[in-house]
Copies of this chain bind each other. A is one copy, B any other.
Amino acid sequence: MGSVVESREWYLAAYSPHGVPNSDNLKLRTVALSLSSDSIPDGHVSLQILFLSVDPYLRTRLTGTLDGLYIQQYPLNEVITAYGVGRVIGSKDSKYTEGDLILTPSAPVAEYCILPSSRVIRKIDAASGISLPDYLSALGVPGFAAWVGIVVLGDPKPGSNVFISAASGAVGMSAGQLAKIRGCRVIGSTGSDEKVKLIKEEFGYDDGFNYNKESDFDAALSKYFPDGIDVYLDNVGGKMLESVLNHVNKYARIPLCGMISQYNKVWTEREGVRNLLNMVGKEVRMEGFMLESYWHRFEDFAKEMEGYIKEGKVTSKNKINIGIESFLDSLASLFSSSNIGKVVVQVNKA
């Protein structure tokens, strides 16, 4: 490894208040990065980035306002960051040595970087038999979100009727499998017939429907939930959430994981939910969550989920796009209904 590398990275050129972010907002540039031992401060590691996790919440860090998820906005002209897997290529922290594989929620969207080792949340056991992309899907941000939503907040009982939107997406695929493990009846909505087939055949959903073919969500939910909905893991918001509120059972729980249908709009143009009054009579609990509040449970999650993966009870479908240059299109694909499963960018060969 030469002491200076050329590293391509995506930086924020302009905020994107609405619409799908494009090449006016995120631009690729090449920087020269010194990775010589002298260039690594104490308590830091140098990394070759291997895989980056492409998640919908990243979009809300590009608006330039705190509206929405209230996550800190990326600063202009700086490289953006994401959850990722890296290989240690140099270390000024005795806990890490060259060749270690690590996970960090704060990987620069770049080919190489120098990172404070405090940002490393986990060393990956290369002998675990689990693929590196799975550490970003079932064992990463979306798997953890599914676990918090289903296990911690939704807490369905055996036989509960569980509905999951964006069911073939990165969160939905793990969420459906977790609900099945708990003995629930699980129905998903997703954006194509192919994806409906997928969630039934690969992720164990009892049934599902293509929301693009349903002109009347209320009618669809009446059909798939003759006994009502006990838990709805909401990943989309808007009209689907409104329709669900017409089908909730007493004491239903609605963990709000994200609202992908609403991210690209300013709030005044988002779809209003008109039937919140139903929450009163049905005594529904709706609760938003962000993973930052649940990191203290990450080890519980990881242990449980690794067990399921090794037993073959949870599987992931990962869409791996090759090369750092694919990051922007990968992000845009989350909003186009074109992708299936977890979108990952492979930056360097593992």
Give the distance in Å from the alpha carbon of A278 to the alpha carbon of B259 in the complex.
10
Q: A71-B281, A282-B70 are contacts. A276–B259 as well, Cβ < 8 Å?
A: yes
In the bound complex, do residue A267 and residue B258 qualify as a contact, i.e. CB atoms below 8 Å apart? Answer: no
Give the distance in Å from the alpha carbon of A256 to the alpha carbon of B280 in the complex.
6
Give the distance in Å from the alpha carbon of A279 to the alpha carbon of B215 in the complex.
27
Cβ of A154 < 8 Å from any Cβ of B?
A: no
Which B residue sits closest to A153, measured CB to CB? Answer: B285
Cβ of A290 < 8 Å from any Cβ of B?
A: yes
In the bound complex, do residue A275 and residue B279 qualify as a contact, i.e. CB atoms below 8 Å apart? Answer: no
A230: min CB distance to chain B, Å: 15
Which B residue sits closest to A262, measured CB to CB? Answer: B277
Give the distance in Å from the alpha carbon of A280 to the alpha carbon of B259 in the complex.
8
A74: min CB distance to chain B, Å: 15
In the bound complex, do residue A259 and residue B277 qualify as a contact, i.e. CB atoms below 8 Å apart? Answer: yes
In the bound complex, do residue A280 and residue B258 qualify as a contact, i.e. CB atoms below 8 Å apart? Answer: yes
In the bound complex, do residue B277 and residue A270 qualify as a contact, i.e. CB atoms below 8 Å apart? Answer: yes
Cβ of A305 < 8 Å from any Cβ of B?
A: no
Partner of A281, one of B274, B283, B284, B288: B288
Cβ of A241 < 8 Å from any Cβ of B?
A: yes
Q: A286-B286, A286-B287 are contacts. A68–B272 as well, Cβ < 8 Å?
A: no
Cβ of A293 < 8 Å from any Cβ of B?
A: yes
Give the distance in Å from the alpha carbon of A273 to the alpha carbon of B277 in the complex.
11
Interface bits A283-324 vs B (CB < 8 Å: 1, else 0): 111111110010000000000000000000000000000000
Interface size on A, residues (CB 8 A): 42
Cβ of A257 < 8 Å from any Cβ of B?
A: yes
Cβ of A13 < 8 Å from any Cβ of B?
A: no
In the bound complex, do residue A284 and residue B284 qualify as a contact, i.e. CB atoms below 8 Å apart? Answer: no
Report B-chain residues with C-beta under 8 Å of the C-beta of A281: 60, 66, 68-71, 288, 290
Report B-chain residues with C-beta under 8 Å of the C-beta of A257: 280
**Chain A stretch 171-217: residues in CB contact (< 8 A) with chain B:** none
Report B-chain residues with C-beta under 8 Å of the C-beta of A155: none
Cβ of A325 < 8 Å from any Cβ of B?
A: no
In the bound complex, do residue B288 and residue A287 qualify as a contact, i.e. CB atoms below 8 Å apart? Answer: no
A289: min CB distance to chain B, Å: 6
Partner of A275, one of B256, B267, B277, B293: B267
A157: min CB distance to chain B, Å: 17
In the bound complex, do residue B280 and residue A286 qualify as a contact, i.e. CB atoms below 8 Å apart? Answer: no
A66: min CB distance to chain B, Å: 8
Cβ of A143 < 8 Å from any Cβ of B?
A: no
Q: 10 extra interchain contacts, Cβ-Cβ under 8 A, other than A66-B281, A283-B293?
A: A60-B281, A69-B280, A242-B272, A256-B279, A258-B280, A259-B276, A272-B274, A281-B290, A283-B287, A286-B286
12 chain-A/chain-B pairs, Cβ below 8 angstroms: A67-B278, A69-B280, A268-B274, A270-B275, A270-B277, A272-B272, A273-B273, A273-B276, A280-B289, A283-B293, A284-B288, A286-B286
